[in-house]
């Protein structure tokens, strides 16, 4: 790694500061070694001389290195910054010079007063001291030189004064030795500097990586916050748009059913179809936002697979019939009645596939087939197939169909409408369930979408507090309590109930609903969730606490009418004791199917 030009000088300052810290870090051992060597040498010199002057330089050596200990302690306490290190290097240089000078005094004052044996001993000791100094002082060669030159210089002077040939020979050898050891120290300094420079560059790289990681984390957090804000906005808009859409679609549907065939009915049906198209776009955008934000969490619930499939076919049978298509359900007898999985997620995938099949088929057949099928080697795999006799898909564009906002070509979007989100959402949901959505199609020969997921067989759903009454078939005329704080929604709901041949009573809040329930008996309650004074969830809990029943003695069915479409809200409705949940906007077919299930 190359450090940027703007920080090159700072990097070099860091290296020099680190070299100085190495000096101070190894200084304790060097000081202790010199004091010990002085004590030993003074004892040995006493064998050759009792002159006090011969021993005085060793006291100077001890004092010089005791000063070194004080300097090391001061450095640790100060813990200087990079900009202050140079001053502390100068102090260490002076301390090393003092140590070398004190050993030089030994050579000058002691060696002339001892015999040849003492001189040889001091030469050997000086060689050992200077060799050891390479390990402790070579980090800064100038400091090493400040110690070794006066040390060896004093020894040479003490030897040369004898004037003998052997003395001059030893002096020459000491000079050569000094040159070699200085060269060794400088090589050692370069190695230390190189290692320190690599360390500095590594630290710089770590800092850069840390900064990059922090930037990436910050950007990821901002992206997540933006995604969260987008999702929250879509969820909020979904709720706000569903309420007026409920009124618009409800009125158009009621108008289409209430007028004679002609222009007015055509106008009403056109308005209703346009509203349903708008609702489909809204649902797809919300679903995509939930998947991208990771808000889709799989449930593990016991549910009736056959009943779920029948409800899907019932829901889309009217649209298929309007186009002259046959919507057929094929349910293998080898499949269990109840399975463990996420019915909401599975319904959403199959809804998307069936809607697409009906949309892109002009004549013929749409088949929803379910049969045992392998799923990553598990024995509980169930295969789902949706096949149509529609326009088919060209091979070269099949891969892109599973990308968001993609369709086979622009003419498809112009002719059939849609956002191109359905298959992308279905693919991601199937993947979340542990499967893979696959396509087999030829242009002009229809399409087959298939996937397999693991749905272990289980016993039927246990009766829980939220499931307080069982669906009943063969509904007759009944009296229904409609609870909603929005006047337009109340109008739509009562007109739909009336259109389906039932009587109704209106309440505009949870409190008023409880009052009406205390005054008369009802067969079912249609309950909005968000209301002033007392919301629908609290009102339902009160109904369950009071143990209200229908005339036949079973628990009073409560069906939520809510503009919230997310699973947590639907679960909250169930937990509050509601029997069913209808998400606005609600069609006459959906309401009729729901009433048919729950009324006596």
Nearest Cα residue to 437 out of 446, 448, 449, 447: 449
Residues 6+ apart with CB under 8 A from 109: 53, 54, 56, 57, 158
Q: How far apart are CA 105 and CA 245, in angstroms?
A: 104
Nearest Cα residue to 346 out of 380, 330, 370: 370
Which H/E stretch holds residue 60? Answer: helix 52-78
Q: How far apart are CA 311 and CA 317, in angstroms?
A: 10
Tokens of 474: 């063969």
Which H/E stretch holds residue 506? Answer: strand 503-507
Nearest Cα residue to 254 out of 586, 563, 483, 582: 586
Q: How far apart are CA 476 and CA 482, in angstroms?
A: 18
**Owner of token pair 């679903």:** 287
Which H/E stretch holds residue 388? Answer: strand 381-388
Number of alpha helices (DSSP H) and beta strands (DSSP E) in the chain:
16, 12
The three-state secondary structure class of 435 is coil
Tokens of 312: 């899907």
Residues 573 and 532: beta-carbon distance below 8 Å: no
pLDDT under 70: residue ranges of the chain: 1-8, 162-165, 230-231, 234-235, 238-239, 258-260, 262, 273-274, 276-277, 280-297, 374-379, 396-422, 460-475, 550-552, 565, 600
Give φ, ψ of 456 to 5 degrees: -60, 140
Q: How far apart are CA 170 and CA 173, in angstroms?
A: 5
Give φ, ψ of 506 to 5 degrees: -100, 140
Nearest Cα residue to 557 out of 513, 591, 524: 524
Residues 358 and 302: beta-carbon distance below 8 Å: no
Residues 6+ apart with CB under 8 A from 462: 302
Residues 451 and 437: beta-carbon distance below 8 Å: yes
| Structure confidence at residue 101 (pLDDT) | 92
Residues 428 and 294: beta-carbon distance below 8 Å: no
**Owner of token pair 């001291």:** 129
**DSSP assignment, residue 549?**
B
Q: Is 31 exposed, middle or buried (0-12, 13-18, 19+ CB in 10 A)?
A: buried
| Structure confidence at residue 2 (pLDDT) | 41
**Owner of token pair 């259109």:** 499
**Owner of token pair 């030994």:** 106
The three-state secondary structure class of 554 is coil
Residues 592 and 500: beta-carbon distance below 8 Å: yes
| Structure confidence at residue 90 (pLDDT) | 92
Tokens of 243: 């309420």
Q: How far apart are CA 22 and CA 10, in angstroms?
A: 18
| Structure confidence at residue 413 (pLDDT) | 43
Tokens of 436: 């893979």
Tokens of 346: 């599975």
| Structure confidence at residue 92 (pLDDT) | 92
pTM of this structure: 0.46
Q: How far apart are CA 214 and CA 24, in angstroms?
A: 35
Nearest Cα residue to 135 out of 18, 36, 25: 25
| Structure confidence at residue 280 (pLDDT) | 67
The three-state secondary structure class of 563 is coil
């Amino acid at each position: 790694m190359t450090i940027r030009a703007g920080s090159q000088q700072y990097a070099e300052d860091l290296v020099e500061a680190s070299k100085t810290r190495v000096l101070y870090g190894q200084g304790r051992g060097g000081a202790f070694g010199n004091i010990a060597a002085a004590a030993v040498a003074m004892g040995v010199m006493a064998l050759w001389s009792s002159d006090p002057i011969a021993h005085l330089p060793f006291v100077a050596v001890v004092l010089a290195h005791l000063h070194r200990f004080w300097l090391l302690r001061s450095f640790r306490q100060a813990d200087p910054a990079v900009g202050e290190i140079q001053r502390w290097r100068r102090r260490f240089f002076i301390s090393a010079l003092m140590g070398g000078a004190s050993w030089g005094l030994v050579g000058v004052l002691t060696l002339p007063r001892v015999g040849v044996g003492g001189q040889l001993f001091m030469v050997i000791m000086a060689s050992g001291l200077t060799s050891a100094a390479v390990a402790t002082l070579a980090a800064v060669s100038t400091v090493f030189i400040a110690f070794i030159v006066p040390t060896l210089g004093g020894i040479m002077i003490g030897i040369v004064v004898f004037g003998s040939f052997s003395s001059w020979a030893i002096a020459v050898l000491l000079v050569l030795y000094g040159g070699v050891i200085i060269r060794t120290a400088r090589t050692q300094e370069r190695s230390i500097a190189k290692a320190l420079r690599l360390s500095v560059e590594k630290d710089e790289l770590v800092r850069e990586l840390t900064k990059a990681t922090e930037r990436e984390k910050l950007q990821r957090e901002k992206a997540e916050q933006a995604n969260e804000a987008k999702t929250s906005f879509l969820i909020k808009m979904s709720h706000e748009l569903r309420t007026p859409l409920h009124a618009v679609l409800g009125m158009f549907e009621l108008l289409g059913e209430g007028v004679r065939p002609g222009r007015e009915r055509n106008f009403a049906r056109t308005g209703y179809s346009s509203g349903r198209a708008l609702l489909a776009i809204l649902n797809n955008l919300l679903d995509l936002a939930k998947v991208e934000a990771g808000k889709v969490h799989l449930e593990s619930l016991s549910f009736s697979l056959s009943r779920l499939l029948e409800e899907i076919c019932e829901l889309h049978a009217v649209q298929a019939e309007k186009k002259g298509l046959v919507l057929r359900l094929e349910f293998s007898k080898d499949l269990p009645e109840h399975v463990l999985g996420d019915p909401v997620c599975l319904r959403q995938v199959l809804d998307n596939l069936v809607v697409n099949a009906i949309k892109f088929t002009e004549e013929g057949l749409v088949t929803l087939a379910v049969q045992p099928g392998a799923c990553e080697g598990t024995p509980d795999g169930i295969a789902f197939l949706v096949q149509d006799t529609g326009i088919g898909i060209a091979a070269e564009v099949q891969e892109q169909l599973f990308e968001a906002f993609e369709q086979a070509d622009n003419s498809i979007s112009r002719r059939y409408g849609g956002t191109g989100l359905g298959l992308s959402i279905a693919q991601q949901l199937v993947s979340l369930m542990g499967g893979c959505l696959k396509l087999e199609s030829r242009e002009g020969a229809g399409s087959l979408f298939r996937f397999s997921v693991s749905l272990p067989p289980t016993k039927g759903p246990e009766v829980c507090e939220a499931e307080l009454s069982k669906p009943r078939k063969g509904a007759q005329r009944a009296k229904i309590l409609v609870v909603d704080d929005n006047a337009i929604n109340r109008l739509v709901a009562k007109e739909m109930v009336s259109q389906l041949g039932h009587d109704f009573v209106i309440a505009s809040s949870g409190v008023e609903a409880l009052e009406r329930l205390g005054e008369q008996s009802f067969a079912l309650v249609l309950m909005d969730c968000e209301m002033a004074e007392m919301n629908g969830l609290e009102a339902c809990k009160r109904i369950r606490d009071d143990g209200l029943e229908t005339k036949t003695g079973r628990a009073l069915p409560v069906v939520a009418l809510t503009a919230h479409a997310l699973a947590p809200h639907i679960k909250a409705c169930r937990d509050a004791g509601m029997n069913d949940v209808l998400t606005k906007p609600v069609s006459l077919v959906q309401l009729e199917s729901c009433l048919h299930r729950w009324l006596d």
